[in-house]
Amino acid sequence: MTTPTPRSGRLAGRTALITGASRGIGRAIALRYAEEGADLFVTATKAALLEETRTQAEALGAKVTVHVADVSRRDAVQALVDTAVQALGGIDILVNNAGVYKASRLVDYTPEDFDRIMQVNVYGVFHAMQLVLRHMQPRGRGKVINIASTAGKWGSMNQSAYNASKHAVVGLTRCAAMEMGAHGIQVNAICPGFVQTDMLQEFRAHGDILGVPFEKVMEAGLARVPLKRFLQPQEIASLAVYLGSAESDGMTGQTLLLDGGMLMV
């Protein structure tokens, strides 16, 4: 029997659990991680697109396990983490990327819509962080990368539930970093601005509320971005590679803006 050749790259020999990896930023992170030598455990609620991520990541040489799960459900995340630990032989990197968005004026949110955004964007991150950190702690190493948003750092019109949820992710990131430092675990967040994914299309509803066409909403958004363009998911993935690699071992508790210069705080 021949010994398999170790895969090279900045994440060689590392394993990663990535939520919301079926499309957009999550898929881009999965593919960059595969390129850099990581083995993957990818999850989302719909199987078909996840399988596409698997096919593309395997073509880059990664070992990939696909698992359908709704991160808002504690029992589903417990099963997800247990299966990932078995499949990967241990989780080195957790990327909490799954998220949902819905535009509404604060006075119009239904409690159900508000609750759904909190369940996925906040409780999803809490469940996965708590269960994976319990696994990482005795190993004395690990990386957690939470995908927050510029919405976690300032106010926006017609998306108070989303902004509240992303402020919570920023808070969870900072507190977890404080508690995990002594265990050799780094916890950081990426706060993207406008990124060209399906989620950007959800801004149509924002335009409907304001009574302006989608194009005008996008123009107004770009007017606040010094680089004058939307980011691509791959650009978020590049920062996620850094945060998942040994290169960032000295960094924890950071909530890094990657937004074309929109916020300078």
Give the active site residues: 162
Stretch that binds ligand NAP, among 1-9, 106-114, 136-144, 196-204 (CB under 6 A): 196-204
3-state SS assignment for residue 24? helix
Cβ–Cβ < 8 Å for 68, 98: no
Closer of 120 and 176 to ligand NAP (Cβ): 120
Return the residue of 14, 23, 32, 143 that touches ligand NAP, per CB under 6 A. Answer: 23
DSSP annotation string for 148-189: --GGGTS--TTBHHHHHHHHHHHHHHHHHHHHHGGGTEEEEE
Q: Please give the residues from 209 up to 248 whose contact with ligand NAP meets the rule CB under 6 A.
A: none
**194 interacts with ligand NAP by CB under 6 A:** yes
Query: Site mask, ligand NAP, residues 50-79, x = CB under 6 A?
Result: --------------------xxx-------
Stretch that binds ligand NAP, among 103-111, 127-135, 191-199, 209-217 (CB under 6 A): 191-199
Find, among 126, 147, 102, the residue nearest to 259 by Cα. 147
Return the residue of 112, 155, 198, 264 that touches ligand NAP, per CB under 6 A. Answer: 198
Q: Please give the residues from 77 up to 116 whose contact with ligand NAP meets the rule CB under 6 A.
A: 97-100
Structural tokens at position 163: 């902004």
* CB within 8 Å of 215: residues ≥ 6 apart: none
CB of 45 to ligand NAP, least distance (A): 3
Return the residue of 9, 24, 244, 260 that touches ligand NAP, per CB under 6 A. Answer: 24
Query: Site mask, ligand NAP, residues 138-177, x = CB under 6 A?
Result: ---------x-x----------------------------
3-state SS assignment for residue 126? helix
CB of 4 to ligand NAP, least distance (A): 30
Structural tokens at position 210: 């304001």
Find, among 43, 47, 37, the residue nearest to 15 by Cα. 37
What are the residues facing 41 on neighbouring strands?
Answer: 17, 65
Amino acid at 110: T
Q: What is the rounded CA–CA span in Å between residue 177 and residue 168?
A: 14
Return the residue of 8, 12, 13, 46 that touches ligand NAP, per CB under 6 A. Answer: 46
Find, among 161, 159, 228, 152, the residue nearest to 192 by Cα. 152
Closer of 51 and 137 to ligand NAP (Cβ): 51
3-state SS assignment for residue 23? coil
Q: What is the rounded CA–CA span in Å between residue 36 and residue 111?
A: 42
- Residues in the site for ligand NAP, rule: CB under 6 A? 19-20, 22-26, 44-46, 70-72, 97-100, 120, 147, 149, 192, 194-195, 197-200
